[in-house]
């Protein structure tokens, strides 16, 4: 008898509907109003690459050891350097990073012995052209500059 009443009066369906109505409470709204509120990504987030600069003297931290290029599974980093006769050390000249093929795995960041190459929290890296995805040393040091929209 109880089963018959539950079936006729759609008790199971109303139970489900009650869950849905309970979730209408504004405290359960999870929608992020992007781009007005940008998500806060974690500290270890593997986003856009950046070549760090020594804050004291403005020189690059990269020692052109090529370890990042060797570690990359896609072989998309190209590092060129020239030997400085005065200090007898290698100096970085160009550093090319192809973000269109990058899978943001972080192996280059792990391989860098001096923490010069770092994957930052930037994730807004869209460009209008394919060539814009290939970053040279300057773009890597400054970082991507996404258009800021006023909302």
Partner 1 sequence: MPEPTFLDSTELVLNMGPQHPSTHGVLRVILKLDGEKVTGTECVIGYLHRGVEKIGENRTYAQFNPYVDRMDYVAAVSNGLGYCLAVEKLLNVEAPPRAQAVRVILTELNRVASHQLWLGTHALDIGAITPVFYCLRDREEALKIFEKYCGARLTTHAFRIGGLLYETYDGFEQDIRAFCDWMDPKLAEYEELLTNNRIWVGRLKGVGILNADECKEYGVTGPVLRAAGVKWDLRKAQPYSGYEKYEFDIPTRENGDTYDRYLVRMEEMRQSVRIMRQAVAAIPDGPIMGKVGKVIKPPVGEAYVSIEAPKGELGYYIVSDGATQPYRLRVRPPSFVNLQALDRMVAGGLIADVVAIIGTLDIVLGEVDR
Partner 2 sequence: MADEQKPGGSDTPPPSGKEAPAPPAKPAAAAHAAPPKPPATMAATPWDSDLSRQIKERFGEAIGETSTYLGQNFVVVKPDSAMSLLEYLKLEADFDYLVDVTAVDWPKRPERFDLVYILYSFSRNERVRVKTHIADGYKPGTAVGVHLAANWLEREVYDMFGIEFAGHPDMRRILLPEEWEGFPLRKDYSILKQDDRWVQENLGIPSGQ
Query: Interface with partner 2 by CB under 8 A: which residues?
Result: 66-67, 69-71, 74-78, 96-98, 101, 107, 111, 134
- Dihedral pair phi/psi, residue 125, rounded to 5°: -125, 25
> How buried is 59 (Cβ within 10 angstroms: 0-12 exposed, 13-18 middle, 19+ buried)?
exposed
**Binding to partner 1 by residue 114, rule CB under 8 A?**
no
**Binding to partner 1 by residue 137, rule CB under 8 A?**
no
* Cβ-proximal residues to 43 (8 Å cutoff; 6+ apart), any chain: 121
Binding partner selected for residue 19 from partner 2, partner 1, none, CB under the kind-specific 5 to 8 Å limit: partner 1
Binding partner selected for residue 115 from partner 1, partner 2, none, CB under the kind-specific 5 to 8 Å limit: none
Residues 90-109, mask of contacts with partner 1 (x by CB under 8 A): -------------xxxxx--
Query: Which H or E run includes 134?
Result: strand 134-135
Residues 46-65, mask of contacts with partner 1 (x by CB under 8 A): x-------------------
Q: Smallest distance from the beta carbon of 99 to partner 2, in angstroms? A: 9
* Cβ-proximal residues to 122 (8 Å cutoff; 6+ apart), any chain: 47, 48, 50, 143, 144, 146
Which residue, among 24, 12, 45, 59, has the nearest Cα to 120 in the 3D structure?
45
Judged by the rule CB under 8 A, the positions of this chain that interact with partner 1 are 7, 12-13, 15-16, 19-20, 23, 30, 41-46, 71-73, 103-107, 110, 119
């Amino acid at each position: 008898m109880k089963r018959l009443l539950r079936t006729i009066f759609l008790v199971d369906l109303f139970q489900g509907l009650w869950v849905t109505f309970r979730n209408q409470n504004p405290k359960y709204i999870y929608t992020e109003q992007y781009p007005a509120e940008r998500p806060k990504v974690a500290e270890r987030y593997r986003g856009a690459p950046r070549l760090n600069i020594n804050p004291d003297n403005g020189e690059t931290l990269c020692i052109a050891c090529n370890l990042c290029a060797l570690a990359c599974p896609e072989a998309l980093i190209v590092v060129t350097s020239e030997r400085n006769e005065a200090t007898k050390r290698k100096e970085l000249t160009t550093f090319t990073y192809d973000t269109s093929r990058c899978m943001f795995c972080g192996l280059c960041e792990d391989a860098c012995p001096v923490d010069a190459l770092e994957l930052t929290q930037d994730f807004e890296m869209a460009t209008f052209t394919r060539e814009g995805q290939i970053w040279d040393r300057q773009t890597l040091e400054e970082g991507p500059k996404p258009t800021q929209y006023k909302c």
